[in-house]
Structure 1
Amino acid sequence: DDAINAAVALLEGNEPTASGSYNNGAIDVPAIQSPVVTVDKNNVVAALIDSGYYNAADFTGLDASAAPVDAGEVAGKVGIVLPTKDEPRWVQDEARFQEALVAAGYEVEILFSQGDSAKELANVEDLITKGVEVIIITPHDGTAAAAAAEAAQAAGVQVISYDRLIRDTDAVSYYVTFDSIAVGAQQAQYLVDNASGTGNPLYLYAGAASDNN
């Protein structure tokens, strides 16, 4: 929801409240860091469903009823570019962005780049021609996405880099992220607290070099 709140603030002419900054190789980008939450059986509903990250309808045995929201008059338009539709996480984000922004009175269009930086740029250019005022981008490649951010900036559109940092450009207004170091610390602590026996190797897997997380 931090990316949604940041987009709404910009559309309303306000400055989102940043909690820090990240240097992207060109500037210090104001950052909005989401809190790190450890999810277990005792808080899974509050953390994943009540928060809006998942829909109750995605689960069995839960009350999925919800009253429809009257979005009313459209107050502005937000464009969102997500990296792929092949991973459940981004499909879930698509649903949450759509639901929350429409409920807040904004028009929203969401496009997927399918792991292709050229398509990502084309998506941003398409959204610009459709009159969006703010674009939220989760870049496939943080460095390659600079071209998309600069195209938006040239058109007077503010850019929010979401989850992954767009690098080597001054065209990013805000970066919505999480404290990845805190996440790693919590994951490691869980292993320390729950690992049993001896001789069980632990493997560290890293993501793509193009992802600053």
Structure 2
Amino acid sequence: MTRTLRAAIALTGTAALSLSALLTTGVAQATSGQAAKQQVRIGLLLPESKTTRYEKFDRPYIEAKIKELAPDARIDYYNAAESATTQQQQVNTALAKGDKVLILDAVDSKSIQSSVEKANAAGVKVVAYDRLAQGPVDAYVSYDNKKVGQLQGQALLDALGDKAKSGQIVMHNGSPTDPNAAEFKAGAHSVLDGKVKIGKEYDTPNWDPNNANQQMSGAIAALGKDNIVGVYSANDGLAAGISTALKASGLSVPLTGQDAQLDAVQRILAGTQTITVEKPYKPEADIAATMAVNLAEGKKLTKDLIPTTVTSGSGEKVPATLLTPVVVNKDNIKDTVVKDGLYTVKEICTPAYADACKKAGLE
């Protein structure tokens, strides 16, 4: 074999090795790219389904935004059905499946702390959604919950007018395991205390409308219906149970709410509920989804996503976004829940509410 031929063969071998190396590198890069895509794996853990917002709005909005930002993302969805124990088990399942970020709306902000700590130890990020869980949470998005209570309290006082001093109100503050409920309560008390007499005050575990109904019936029996001038309800689910008890007793007084549920908007039109507080779900959901995708991709959250900080019940400082709530009354339904896309006029103005809608200018 000539020296020239040997050199040519060697060169060919080198080229083959280089081509093989390039192909191997290309496969490795492709595999790496696929792995990077697979890393956008998010667990969405919501607390319950009795409140219509979670299945009707929060879940679809969050999932749609995640898919918009990361089309190949995998979303594992869990609903705890009001059980703190179930939610703890669901966190374990999410971690076992390999979720890299959890969007967590806690059933019980205290009992979930050990699960948050477990996620943190595994390198899994936690975005607290709507309710601030205890433990090392990485980010939080909600509404200014104390402001919600202040808006409710002021709306109740405005509706009472001169009657504020002539009777008593009943307060229904929501679930004691929900940290938001404590903030609603504090906000309401900051407005109501000293301006109206509180005859009865209740916590309602799991935000159960049936319990609220029984509590209201008990309050009417204890205080006498002629002595009750108004009712503070922390949300629309409770207001549904309360309004039934009021109707059964032939009592018509101002009643507050929150969440802008469809039935609450219809009660406002019918005059059996005075206001609700709208916390537009899409902005909250979009921010949570954006936080989660960024964290799953290993990015730091920008200041526009976390402009402030809050302190959890366990003492952690958590980067946060707090959005501004809006009062909905009979006069601004079109400019709030309809304009924001929660409901169409057709959905609100069913035959039973046609006359009330016409009077309110909803046509």
TM-score higher than 0.5 here? Answer: yes
Aligned partners of 1:87 and 1:103: how far apart in 2?
Answer: 26
User: Would the aligned equivalents of 2:39 and 2:100 in 1 still touch at CA under 8 Å?
Assistant: no
1:92-121 Cα deviation digits (max 9, x unpaired): 211111111112213222101112222112
1:176 corresponds to 2:138: no
Alignment partner, residue 249 of structure 2: none
Alignment partner, residue 69 of structure 2: 104
1:154-205 Cα deviation digits (max 9, x unpaired): 21101112222222x3x21122222112111112222233335634643221
Match of 1:100, SS?
A: helix
Q: Of residues 165, 176, 189 in structure 1, which corresponds to 2:154?
A: 189
Aligned partners of 1:192 and 1:115: how far apart in 2?
Answer: 32
Gaps of 5+ in 1: 1-72
Match of 2:173, SS?
A: coil
1:58-114 Cα deviation digits (max 9, x unpaired): xxxxxxxxxxxxxxx777111111111232121121111111111221322210111
Match of 2:127, SS?
A: strand
1:165 corresponds to 2:132: yes
Alignment partner, residue 8 of structure 1: none
User: Would the aligned equivalents of 1:120 and 1:148 in 2 still touch at CA under 8 Å?
Assistant: no
Alignment partner, residue 43 of structure 2: 79
RMSD of equivalent CA atoms: 2.1
User: Would the aligned equivalents of 1:149 and 1:172 in 2 still touch at CA under 8 Å?
Assistant: yes
For residues 17-166 of structure 1, the aligned pairs below 5 Å read: 76-91=40-55, 92-105=57-70, 106-166=73-133
Aligned partners of 2:83 and 2:107: how far apart in 1?
Answer: 7
One-letter code aligned to 1:154: A
- Identity percentage over the alignment? 25
User: Would the aligned equivalents of 1:101 and 1:107 in 2 still touch at CA under 8 Å?
Assistant: no
Gaps of 5+ in 2: 1-36, 181-363
Aligned partners of 1:101 and 1:174: how far apart in 2?
Answer: 16
Runs of 4+ in structure 1 off by over 4 angstroms are none
Higher helix share: 2
Match of 2:111, SS?
A: coil
Give the TM-score normalised by structure 1: 0.58
One-letter code aligned to 1:193: D
User: Would the aligned equivalents of 2:112 and 2:133 in 1 still touch at CA under 8 Å?
Assistant: yes
Of stretches 156-165 and 192-201 in structure 1, the one that deviates more from structure 2 is 192-201
Query: How many residues of Structure 1 are paired with residues of Structure 2 in the alignment?
Result: 139
Structure 1 pair 108/194, CA: closer, same or farther in 2 (3 Å)? same
1:6-28 Cα deviation digits (max 9, x unpaired): xxxxxxxxxxxxxxxxxxxxxxx
User: Would the aligned equivalents of 1:98 and 1:108 in 2 still touch at CA under 8 Å?
Assistant: yes
Aligned partners of 2:161 and 2:138: how far apart in 1?
Answer: 46
Give the TM-score normalised by structure 2: 0.36
Which one has more relative contact order, counting CA pairs under 8 Å at least 6 apart? Answer: 1
Aligned partners of 1:110 and 1:200: how far apart in 2?
Answer: 47
Once the 2 structures are TM-superposed, how far is the Cα of residue 206 of structure 1 from its aligned partner? Answer: 1.1
**Structure label with greater radius of gyration:** 2
User: Would the aligned equivalents of 1:146 and 1:166 in 2 still touch at CA under 8 Å?
Assistant: yes
1:202 corresponds to 2:166: no
